[in-house]
């Protein structure tokens, strides 16, 4: 094993060399990457762009030495590797700890339950002597701006941005020469995005390590990287690298192409359909109202014979949902926005206060949406969850769409229209779990709308979405609003809020959250 | 929803002992108690345990909060034993098919006390032992394979996440029209569907976590330990305490002629 650092523990930046490298995952017909030629010099900082399916994540996993399908004794299973991919002069797999990888989902970037232990984990695995580990842990925590936390602080109490910074600290403690970030901020709110970006910038300035980052949102990383590489889906005819050069040049040369591929190039807000006529605020028919609402995800706790109501994350909230009007719920992380929306949607029981449906919405089902039967709920209030997979209930796209209408016992006339409108017609026989991120998002919106609810509630609908899906979604929702549906969205996305118009309910942080 | 097993920030004396010695002491005590249904050994052990539990940082109300299901189970077990066990001696209560006699009441009390005396050390052990420290001790002192121990530890963290995920999937499915209310058949069907959804998410999370761990160098041959698992004089006291309590319980029951091996019957 080639050590990542010299005796003093300073980092030796890594070089990357790919020559005709390709990879086909086991059980797939097409290679994920084909014919990649790429040189990255030690200490270079590279932003990797490209449409989904261009093999960006596959490349990062390969560089991290964790690309699956090869057994421990080095024998390939069904997967195919071609050409060569080297870190320094050796295959990544043979050099544990030379590269550190951060993935998208913060929950799975944390391994252990105490902050200090989690940072130490990688160094332990590399057999760093105990007396050298703790100084590294302290240094890494300071580098990512988490040194104010005690070492035994529970990792479960961290915010998403803090979890990603903790993961970065765990990587830094290994002193890797190559840092690989796979959409590290896709699941974070705007503050979290900056926290992580700045922590990465600081640690790179200090260690001089090589960086390869994959991310849709170019503006976040543009000033930090010194090179942008654009990949395209692998094929025999085209080289894997489409464009390669300094950020400014690539962004000028390829602006149109990148925007068309759904990349968020800086300063680009995709065009969306404007509303036909924005109604005067409060003019639409009142459908749903919240008064003095206190919300919590926790159910009442039982301690012996006593029932203790949970502490609300937010209280005294009032809101009105009106036909044909958009309502955006905004505010910092941890303010209880999603919890409020789920309570409004009749999915969580209020801790106190009430949610009441007007007669125009309830149509005989009663005033309290939480008491409605599931069938009554879906034809009145539809909720689209942040993670589309949570809502899939069948094994086929078409069945997903027919599920609601079948339950309600009415025709499927809206299904064809939705398939067409959300570009799912080609996918009717596909398994929902196998779709791309954007397709999953479109499907989850379509399935909820198939039941024709009068109120549509969306939880962070634009998180992690590329610019194309974003624009489609915003345009589609503006059509729905014109048709008289009420649209409530929990979002951090100011451009999305602006595209839909309507009222904004800003929630303040319920409690002091550590920075 | 996610209640940590260990009391967070527990600085009590027993929290500083090595998990392995605590485990050994608990095993000794519960081992002796499991051998006999008699009220003497159980009450001797219980008396000592009640004296000791402040050392684990517990108070009576905390004990009730954490241990109430076990305490209730022991009480129900004691009650049913006293009314259902074969009668002997004077009949104390006669309610048709249920009778309680001196003999069956004694057996019932023995059962109840034994239940308490076995449950209490488990609650005690859990409240003053951090899972990470337990894993350290198992890998470094008991020499269990570190891949297995650390893999289990990391997976345990996911269990807490899965509890939250279960609630979210339940809501997400209600929003699709899958009612978790209704007839028994509908509920079973809904639960099965929800379990499948959870399984998918669990596998996704687990494989991502596995990649994270591998990318941090996990799975190689040798590794070092940032936290050294050590034995101290305290551990000698803990194990001796276990031996003493178990021994005294056994001795008391033998001298009172109440020792009653479970497999020999009454």
Put simply, whether A451 touches B (Cβ < 8 Å) is: yes
CA distance A390 to A45: 36
Planar angle of CA A95, A99, A105, nearest 5 degrees: 130
SS3 A268: coil
Put simply, whether B1 touches A (Cβ < 8 Å) is: yes
Do A392 and B215 make contact, defined as CB atoms within 8 angstroms?
no
Q: Are A127 and B224 in contact (CB under 8 A)?
A: yes
Q: b/e string for A32-51 if b means 16 or more Cβ within 10 A?
A: bbbbbebebeebbbbbbbbb
Do B176 and A404 make contact, defined as CB atoms within 8 angstroms?
yes
Among residues A358, A364, A350, A373, the alpha carbon closest in space to that of A455 is found at A358
Here the tokens at position A476 are: 């589609």
pLDDT attached to residue A239? 80
Q: What share of chain B has pLDDT > 70, as a percent? A: 93
Decide the pairing of beta strands A16-24 and A33-40: antiparallel
pLDDT attached to residue A134? 95
Here the tokens at position B196 are: 């499948």
pLDDT attached to residue A515? 35
End-to-end CA, chain B? 44
Tens of pLDDT, residue by residue over B102-116, are 888 888 888 888 888
pLDDT attached to residue B262? 67
Among residues A215, A184, A266, A190, the alpha carbon closest in space to that of A492 is found at A190
Among residues A429, A430, A480, the alpha carbon closest in space to that of A450 is found at A480
Q: Please give the mean pLDDT across all residues of chain A.
A: 88
End-to-end CA, chain A? 38
CA distance B200 to A393: 12
pLDDT attached to residue A290? 95
Put simply, whether A122 touches B (Cβ < 8 Å) is: yes
Cβ-proximal residues to B123 (8 Å cutoff; 6+ apart), any chain: B58, B63, B66, B67, B70
Q: Are A243 and A228 in contact (CB under 8 A)?
A: yes
Do B176 and A61 make contact, defined as CB atoms within 8 angstroms?
no
Tens of pLDDT, residue by residue over A412-445, are 778 998 998 888 999 999 999 888 888 999 999 9
pLDDT attached to residue A441? 92
Sign of CA dihedral A368, A373, A376, A379: positive
pLDDT attached to residue A514? 36
CA distance A155 to A170: 12
ipTM value: 0.86
CA distance B248 to B245: 5
Here the tokens at position A81 are: 């590797």
Taking CA–CA distances from A174, the nearest residue in chain B reads B216
Decide the pairing of beta strands A455-459 and A381-384: parallel
Put simply, whether B265 touches A (Cβ < 8 Å) is: no
CA distance A438 to B173: 20
Number of C-beta neighbours around residue B182 at 10 A: 13
Query: Across the interface, which of B168, B175, B226 has its CB nearest the CB of A124?
Result: B226
CA distance A451 to A156: 37
pLDDT attached to residue A5? 53
Query: Across the interface, which of A129, A375, A389 has its CB nearest the CB of B224?
Result: A129
Provide the shortest C-alpha distance from residue A371 to chain B (in Å): 11
User: Could you say which residues from 135 to 154 on chain A have a Cβ atom under 8 Å away from some Cβ of chain B?
Assistant: 137, 154
Planar angle of CA A334, A339, A340, nearest 5 degrees: 105
DSSP track, A337-348 = HHHHHHHHTTSS
pLDDT attached to residue A455? 97
Range in A79-88, A384-393, B84-93 the model is least confident about: B84-93
Interface test with B, best of A3, A68, A111 (most B CBs within 10 A): A111
Taking CA–CA distances from A100, the nearest residue in chain B reads B215
Q: Are A370 and A483 in contact (CB under 8 A)?
A: no
Number of C-beta neighbours around residue A495 at 10 A: 13
CA of A391: how far to CAs of A455, B180, B194, B236, in Å? 18, 14, 10, 54
Decide the pairing of beta strands A99-102 and A381-384: unpaired
Q: Are A99 and A65 in contact (CB under 8 A)?
A: yes
Do B171 and A347 make contact, defined as CB atoms within 8 angstroms?
yes
CA distance B228 to B137: 8
The DSSP output letter for A454 is S
Do B177 and A407 make contact, defined as CB atoms within 8 angstroms?
yes
**Which phi and psi (to 5°) does residue A468 adopt?**
-70, -50
Query: With bands split at pLDDT 50, 70 and 90, how would you rate the model's confidence at B7?
Result: low
pLDDT attached to residue B92? 78
Helices B39-52 & B102-127 angle (0-180, nearest 10): 30
DSSP track, A286-312 = EEEEEEEEEE-SSPPEEETTEEEPPPP
CA distance A181 to A199: 13
Query: With bands split at pLDDT 50, 70 and 90, how would you rate the model's confidence at A466?
Result: confident
CA distance A228 to A323: 46
CA distance A235 to A390: 34
Range in A122-126, B34-38, B112-116, B162-166 the model is least confident about: B34-38
Percentage helix, strand, coil, to 5, in chain A? 35, 25, 45
pLDDT attached to residue A126? 93
Provide the shortest C-alpha distance from residue B145 to chain A (in Å): 14
The DSSP output letter for A130 is H
Mean pLDDT of A383-399: 92
Q: b/e string for A316-328 if b means 16 or more Cβ within 10 A?
A: ebebbbbbbbbbb
Mean pLDDT of A336-350: 94
Q: In what order do the strands lie in the sheet with A45-49?
A: A99-102, A178-182, A210-214, A45-49, A227-231, A241-245
Whether the predicted pLDDT of B177 surpasses 50: yes
Cβ-proximal residues to A452 (8 Å cutoff; 6+ apart), any chain: A379, A414
Which residues pair with residue A86 across a beta bridge?
A17
pLDDT attached to residue A421? 86
Mean pLDDT of A216-224: 90
Q: Are B167 and B1 in contact (CB under 8 A)?
A: yes
Do B174 and A347 make contact, defined as CB atoms within 8 angstroms?
yes
pLDDT attached to residue A163? 93
Mean pLDDT of A35-60: 91
Query: Across the interface, which of A100, A391, A403 has its CB nearest the CB of B172?
Result: A391
pLDDT attached to residue B18? 93
Which residues pair with residue A306 across a beta bridge?
A303
Mean pLDDT of B62-70: 79
Number of C-beta neighbours around residue A111 at 10 A: 23
Q: b/e string for A447-473 if b means 16 or more Cβ within 10 A?
A: bbbbbbbbbbbbbbbbbbbbbbbbbbb
Do B222 and A127 make contact, defined as CB atoms within 8 angstroms?
yes
User: Could you say which residues from 346 to 385 on chain A have a Cβ atom under 8 Å away from some Cβ of chain B?
Assistant: 347-348, 373-375, 377-378, 382-385
DSSP track, B60-124 = HHHHHHHHHHHHHHHHHHHHHHHHHSPP-SSEEEEETTEEEEHHHHHHHHHHHHHHHHHHHHHHH
Do A126 and B217 make contact, defined as CB atoms within 8 angstroms?
yes
Range in A131-140, A192-201, A236-245, B144-153 the model is least confident about: A236-245
Mean pLDDT of A19-27: 87
Interface test with A, best of B59, B60, B176 (most A CBs within 10 A): B176
- Long-range (24+ apart) CB contacts under 8 A made by A128-136 are A128/B224, A129/B224, A130/B224, A130/B225, A130/B226, A130/B228, A132/A9, A133/A173, A133/B224, A133/B226, A134/B226, A136/A9, A136/A173, A136/A175
Mean pLDDT of A463-483: 90
Query: Across the interface, which of A99, A127, A374 has its CB nearest the CB of B223?
Result: A127
Cβ-proximal residues to A71 (8 Å cutoff; 6+ apart), any chain: A77
DSSP track, B135-176 = HHHHHHTS---HHHHHHHHHHHHHHHHHHHHHHHHHHHHHTT
Residue A238 region, left (φ>0) first, then alpha (ψ -120 to 50), else beta?
Answer: beta
């Amino acid at each position: 094993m080639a050590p990542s650092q010299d005796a003093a523990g300073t980092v030796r930046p890594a070089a990357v060399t790919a020559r005709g490298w390709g990879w086909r995952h086991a059980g797939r017909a097409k290679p994920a990457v084909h014919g990649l030629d790429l040189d990255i010099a030690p200490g270079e900082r590279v932003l990797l762009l490209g449409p989904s399916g261009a093999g960006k994540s596959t490349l990062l996993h390969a560089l991290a030495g964790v690309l699956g399908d090869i057994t421990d004794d080095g024998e390939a299973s069904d997967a195919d590797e071609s050409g060569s991919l080297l870190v320094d002069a050796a295959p990544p797999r043979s050099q544990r700890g030379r590269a550190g990888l951060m993935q998208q989902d913060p929950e799975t970037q944390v391994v252990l339950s105490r902050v200090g232990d989690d940072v130490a984990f990688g160094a332990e695995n590399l057999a760093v002597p105990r007396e050298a580990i703790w100084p590294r842990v302290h240094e890494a925590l300071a580098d990512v701006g988490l040194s104010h936390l005690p070492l035994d602080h529970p990792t479960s109490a961290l915010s998403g941005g803090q979890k990603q910074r903790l993961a970065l600290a765990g990587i830094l403690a290994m002193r890797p020469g190559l840092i690989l970030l796979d959409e590290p901020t896709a699941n974070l709110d705007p503050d979290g995005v900056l926290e992580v970006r700045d922590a990465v910038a600081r640690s790179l300035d200090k260690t001089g390590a090589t960086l390869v980052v994959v991310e849709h949102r170019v503006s976040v990383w543009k000033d930090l990287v010194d090179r942008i590489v654009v990949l395209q889906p692998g094929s025999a005819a085209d080289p894997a690298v489409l464009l390669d050069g300094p950020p400014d040049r690539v962004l000028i040369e390829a602006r149109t192409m990148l925007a068309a591929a759904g990349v968020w190039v800086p300063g680009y807000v995709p065009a969306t359909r404007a509303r036909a006529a924005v109604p005067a605020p409060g003019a639409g028919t009142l459908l749903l109202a919240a008064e003095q609402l206190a919300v919590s995800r926790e159910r009442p706790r039982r301690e012996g014979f006593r029932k203790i109501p949970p502490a609300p994350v937010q209280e005294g909230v009032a809101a009105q949902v009106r036909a044909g009007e958009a309502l955006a719920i905004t505010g910092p992380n941890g303010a209880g926005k999603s919890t409020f929306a789920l309570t409004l949607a009749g999915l969580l029981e209020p801790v106190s206060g009430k949610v009441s449906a007007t007669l125009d919405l309830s149509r005989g089902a009663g005033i309290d949406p939480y008491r409605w039967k599931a069938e009554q709920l879906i034809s009145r209030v539809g909720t689209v969850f942040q993670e589309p997979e949570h809502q899939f209930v069948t094994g086929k796209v078409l069945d997903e769409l027919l599920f609601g209408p079948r339950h309600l016992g009415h025709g499927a006339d809206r299904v064809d229209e939705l398939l067409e409108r959300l570009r799912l017609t080609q996918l009717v026989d596909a398994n929902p779990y196998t779709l791309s991120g954007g397709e999953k998002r479109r499907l989850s919106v379509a399935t909820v709308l198939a039941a024709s609810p009068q109120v549509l509630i969306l939880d962070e609908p634009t998180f992690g979405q590329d610019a194309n899906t974003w624009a489609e979604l915003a345009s589609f929702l503006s059509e729905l609003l014109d048709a008289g549906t009420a649209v409530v969205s929990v979002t951090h996305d100011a451009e999305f809020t602006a595209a839909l118009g309507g009222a904004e309910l800003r929630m303040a942080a319920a409690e002091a959250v550590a920075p | 929803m996610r209640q940590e097993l260990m009391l967070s920030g527990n600085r009590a004396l027993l929290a500083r002992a090595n998990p392995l010695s605590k485990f050994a002491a608990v095993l000794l005590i519960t081992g002796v108690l499991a051998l006999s249904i008699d009220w003497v050994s159980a009450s001797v052990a219980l008396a000592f345990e009640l004296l000791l539990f402040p050392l684990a940082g517990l108070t009576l109300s905390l004990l009730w909060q954490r241990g109430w299901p076990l305490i209730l189970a022991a009480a129900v077990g004691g009650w049913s034993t006293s009314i259902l066990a074969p009668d002997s001696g004077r009949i104390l209560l006669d309610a048709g098919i249920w009778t309680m006699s001196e003999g069956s009441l004694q057996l019932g009390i023995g059962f109840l006390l034994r239940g308490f005396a076995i449950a209490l050390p488990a609650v005690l052990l859990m409240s003053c032992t951090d899972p990470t420290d337990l894993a350290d001790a198992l890998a470094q002192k008991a020499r269990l394979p570190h891949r297995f121990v650390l893999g289990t530890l990391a997976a345990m963290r996911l269990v807490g996440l899965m509890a939250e995920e279960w609630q979210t999937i339940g809501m997400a499915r209600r929003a699709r029209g899958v009612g978790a209310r209704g007839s028994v058949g509908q509920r079973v069907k809904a639960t099965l569907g929800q379990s499948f959804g959870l399984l998918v998410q669990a596998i996704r999370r687990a494989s991502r976590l596995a990649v994270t761990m591998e990318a941090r160098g996990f799975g190689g041959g040798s590794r070092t330990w940032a936290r050294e698992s050590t034995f101290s004089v305290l551990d000698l006291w803990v194990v001796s305490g276990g031996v003493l309590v178990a021994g005294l319980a056994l001795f008391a029951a033998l001298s009172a002629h109440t020792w009653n091996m479970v497999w020999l019957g009454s």
